[in-house]
């Protein structure tokens, strides 16, 4: 308890003063002084108790009214005092149903309102910083609107708010620090504004959103940002990032598909570990550097761009999982040459593996089998998968090419 901490400190100081004076006083005087000191402590605690519903401490005033609304007013920072305490008791915050922080407050200090019972918080437009664990374990809090003007959400700012369901983070926020929303297990609606530049490690660990869009302003993602987001099925990553950091999607058991931006140059350890539902990962740029365990515990198909010479055979490894590598290319349609030198039938960059039939390009008409031209097919072949005009017709094929004339 904060009063108790300050009281113990006061008692310790008093005891030190008394011990220094002991040698200079007769026993009777020392006894008298001790009694007076005990009375002072009792009066101090009683005084604090009488003021527990309201008070002023430096630049900050607060009052808890009969409806359970606690209003904090003042200017500048809400910060720890010299005894590393706030002027209100932890126990007082259990009586608060609604917290209102008034205009003029610019920052909220470490753990200032952690563990409170309030269901709503109103933050001022003057606010610039929300401190370390400022609202940690506020388990009745369901929604937070962070004002435009806030620049940083510090380490664990809303960590462990288990009933928090919705948060809107404006573009004025440049940094979402580590663990900012860690273990907010009901957080299903997250909006990250354009303007955010850095998202720290474990920032959204264990949250409940099904989809998330990382804005193009983000330049740095920390490790394990979305770890254990078990409901996450879809994520949009920006072209501004260069690394898929360690454990970024670890244990995202519902994630089905991810597109890796062309800007990415490395995929770190355990990036996709235990993503049990991951069906496809599409790479759109040059081959990045992979950690040996990037796909640890994952069975998936990875697509890489055709006509990109950085994707050499030695790069197409399992990386700790069971990875099937296939060609793709966003601008490829028809019969096109892939990066491996083979020819395939594409629709919108995807090899049509279930297609068998005839298709044409500028070099002629070709017989396709399971999406690929192998040049080994010869003879008269019937078109069983063509248009109404061509289906059922027969063609003479040499080296998979239809011979005319």
Instruction: Tell me the percentage of the chain whose pLDDT exceeds 70.
Output: 76
- pLDDT at residue 142, as a whole number: 95
CB 253 within 8 A of CB 276: yes
Comparing 25-34, 219-228, 330-339, 389-398, the range with the smallest average pLDDT is 25-34
Q: What is the pLDDT, as a whole number, of residue 377?
A: 52
pLDDT of amino acid 1: 35
For residues 224-236, give the mean pLDDT. 97
- Whether the predicted pLDDT of 280 surpasses 50: yes
Would you say residue 51 has pLDDT above 60? no
Instruction: Give the Cα separation of 130 and 140 in Å (integer).
Output: 19
| Cβ 320 vs Cβ 294: under 8 Å | yes
Q: Residue 402 pairs with which residues in a beta bridge?
A: 397
The percentage of the chain sitting over the pLDDT mark of 90, rounded to a whole number, equals 60
pLDDT of 295 strictly over 90: yes
Give the whole-angstrom CA distance, residue 381 versus residue 339.
28
């Amino acid at each position: 308890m904060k009063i108790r901490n300050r009281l113990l400190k006061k008692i310790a100081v008093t005891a030190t003063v008394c011990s220094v004076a002991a040698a200079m006083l007769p026993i009777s005087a020392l006894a008298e002084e001790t009694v007076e000191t005990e009375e002072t402590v009792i009066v101090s605690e009683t005084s604090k108790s009488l003021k527990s519903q309201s008070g002023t401490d430096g630049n900050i005033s607060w009052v808890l009214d009969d409806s359970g609304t606690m209003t904090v007013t003042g200017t500048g920072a809400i910060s720890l005092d010299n005894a590393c305490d706030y002027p209100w008791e932890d126990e007082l915050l259990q009586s608060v149903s609604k917290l209102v922080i008034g205009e003029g407050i610019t920052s909220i200090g470490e753990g200032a309102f952690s563990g409170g019972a309030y269901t709503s918080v109103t933050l001022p437009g003057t606010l610039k910083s929300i401190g370390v664990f400022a609202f940690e374990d506020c388990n009745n809090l369901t929604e937070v609107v962070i004002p435009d003007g806030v620049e940083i959400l510090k380490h664990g700012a809303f960590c462990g708010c288990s009933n928090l369901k919705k948060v809107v983070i404006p573009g004025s926020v440049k940094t979402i620090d580590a663990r900012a929303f860690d273990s907010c297990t009901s957080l299903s609606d997250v909006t990250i504004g354009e303007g955010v530049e850095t998202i720290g490690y474990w920032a959204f660990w264990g949250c409940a959103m099904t989809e998330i869009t990382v804005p193009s302003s983000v330049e740095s993602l920390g490790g394990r940002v979305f770890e254990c987001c078990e409901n996450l099925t879809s994520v949009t990553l920006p072209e501004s990032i260069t690394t898929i950091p360690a454990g970024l999607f670890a244990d995202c058991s519902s994630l089905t598909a991810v597109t890796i931006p062309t800007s990415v140059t490395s995929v770190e350890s355990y990036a996709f570990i235990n993503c049990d539902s991951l069906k496809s990962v599409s790479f759109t740029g040059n081959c990045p550097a992979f950690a040996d365990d990037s796909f640890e515990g994952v069975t998936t198909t990875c697509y890489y761009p055709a006509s990109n010479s950085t994707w050499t055979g030695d790069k197409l490894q399992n990386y700790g999982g069971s990875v099937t590598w296939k060609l793709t290319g966003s601008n490829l349609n028809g019969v096109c040459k892939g990066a491996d030198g083979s020819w395939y039938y594409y629709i919108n960059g995807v090899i049509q593996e279930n297609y068998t039939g005839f298709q044409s390009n500028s070099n002629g008409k070709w017989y396709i089998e399971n999406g690929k031209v192998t040049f080994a097919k010869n003879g008269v072949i019937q078109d069983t998968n063509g248009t109404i005009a061509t289906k059922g017709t027969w063609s003479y094929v040499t080296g998979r090419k239809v011979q005319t004339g």
